[in-house]
Amino acid sequence: MTERRELYRSPNGDSWYLGREPTDGHAFIIHQPNSPSGGRLSHIELGEFLRSGKGPEQQALLRLIGTLVEVPPYA
């Protein structure tokens, strides 16, 4: 079963998740459009997702990546 973490939910109800396949660790974006748009899930490769724009959903992924960087304390 794919593991996922919500990145962003738009005001119109679309949702984007960071997904990971537990068997091989492959990470990708899951987009779930709102119900009126069909609500059908799609998987997007990370690089393609980041190249596709500079919207709030891409900014959310970049913020999450930024949390992985440890900042050393000042001396």
CA–CA gap between residue 52 and residue 4 (Å, rounded)? 21
pTM (predicted TM-score): 0.83
* Tens-digit pLDDT string for the chain (75 aa): 789 999 999 999 999 999 999 999 999 999 999 989 888 999 999 999 999 999 999 999 999 999 988 877 775
In residues, how long is the chain? 75
The alpha carbon of residue 34 and the mean position of all alpha carbons in its chain are separated, in whole angstroms, by 16
Q: From the CB of residue 41, how many other CB atoms can be counted at a distance below 10 Å?
A: 13
| Residue that the structure tokens 């891409």 belong to | 58
Bin 45: left if φ > 0, else alpha if -120 < ψ < 50, else beta. beta
